[in-house]
Amino acid sequence: MADLKIKFSVEGVRAVLSSFRRIGQAARRVAARIKRAMAGAAAAMGRMRTSVLLVGTAMLGLVGLSGRAAGRFEMLKLRLKVVTGSAEAATVAFKEIFAFSTRTPFDPAELVEAAILLKAFGLEGMDALKNVGEAAAAMERPLADIAMAVGSMETDPMRSLGIEIARVGDKATVSFRDKLGKELVKSAKGVQAIRELILETFSIKFGGGLDEASTTLLGLISTLKGNIFAAFATVGEQLQPIFKPMIGALNAFVTKGIESGALAKFGDQVAGFAISVAALATYA
């Protein structure tokens, strides 16, 4: 009877221990599943955080590029406004110049520079700018140099373009060869008429090159770059009402800090802290 009781007791203990083991195994399986779920959630959160950072970085880059593009456009328009005397006229002129830049290898800034120079010499309009561009592209010369050559009407600059000019008083004779090699001689009287004759000479001698260049690979790439830049500038112009007050407020804050001495005091505190840290590092 005693043996039977002992047997029952041992079997009962074994059953309890087996139950505990099963419970422990089940708990470990549940813990493992929870761990895997947590790891998956952490990975998902990590991917989400990376995506947010990438999107945020891209957005900041977009804002920065747009702001710079819009600022550049604004400055070019301002230069045109100074010489045209009208914001409306400057806007119209800039649109024409920028459209021209997308079809040519020229940057809007150098086109604006050339347009301002030509206007200073009494030559306006896109036809004048295009003729200067034809000569600059054909001879691989800066636009501003060609515009100055037109304005000065001097012999050496014209000769470097394959054009001979002889001036006597207020009269000038221009001789050159056209694209077929035929020699042409033309005359004009008066400073303005001579300059217009030089532009006409550019058209005859170099005309058509820019239109052909716009269909080449480099011309198409130039068009694409111009359109992308215009897109960034368009976005930036819409953001300017936000940018300008923020930058103005930041400038006012910095100016106030300088004038009040607050920034100088802050600098002294930083310097003192740095000296203390250096002293502790030396002691250690």
167-181 b/e with 16+ CB inside 10 Å = b? eeeeebebebeeeee
* The pLDDT of residue 32: 67
With a pLDDT cut of 70, the percent of the chain lying above it is 74
Residue 61 pLDDT more than 80?
no
Query: What would the DSSP string read from start to end of 84-150?
Result: HS-HHHHHHHHHHHHHHHHTSS--HHHHHHHHHHHHHTT--SHHHHHHHHHHHHHHT--HHHHHHHH
Quick one: pLDDT band at residue 245, thresholds 50, 70, 90?
Answer: confident
The identity of residue 162, as a single letter, is G
pLDDT tens, residue by residue, 81-100: 988 888 899 989 999 998 88
CB atoms within 10 A of CB 214: 16
Residue 71 pLDDT more than 90?
no
* The pLDDT of residue 4: 47
**Residue of higher predicted confidence among 157 and 217:** 157
For the segment 125-131, the average pLDDT, to the nearest whole number, is 93
pLDDT tens, residue by residue, 257-277: 788 887 788 777 777 777 777
Quick one: pLDDT band at residue 224, thresholds 50, 70, 90?
Answer: confident
* The pLDDT of residue 73: 82
**Residue of higher predicted confidence among 165 and 247:** 165
Quick one: pLDDT band at residue 232, thresholds 50, 70, 90?
Answer: confident
pLDDT tens, residue by residue, 189-214: 999 999 999 999 999 999 888 888 77
* The pLDDT of residue 111: 92
In whole angstroms, what is the distance from residue 110 CA to residue 144 CA? Answer: 7
pLDDT tens, residue by residue, 2-23: 444 545 455 555 555 566 566 5
Residue 79 pLDDT more than 50?
yes
In whole angstroms, what is the distance from residue 27 CA to residue 70 CA? Answer: 63
For the segment 237-253, the average pLDDT, to the nearest whole number, is 79
What is the average pLDDT value for the chain, to the nearest integer? 79
With a pLDDT cut of 90, the percent of the chain lying above it is 30
In whole angstroms, what is the distance from residue 143 CA to residue 225 CA? Answer: 20
* The pLDDT of residue 6: 47
Query: What would the DSSP string read from start to end of 134-160?
Result: HHHHHHT--HHHHHHHHHH--HHHHHT
> Of the ranges 22-31, 64-73, 186-195, 236-245, which one carries the lowest mean pLDDT score?
22-31
* The pLDDT of residue 276: 72
Q: Is the dihedral of CA 126, 128, 131, 133 positive or negative?
A: negative
Residue 46 pLDDT more than 70?
no
Number of H helices, E strands in the chain: 10, 3
* pTM summary value: 0.64
* The pLDDT of residue 149: 94
For the segment 28-40, the average pLDDT, to the nearest whole number, is 64
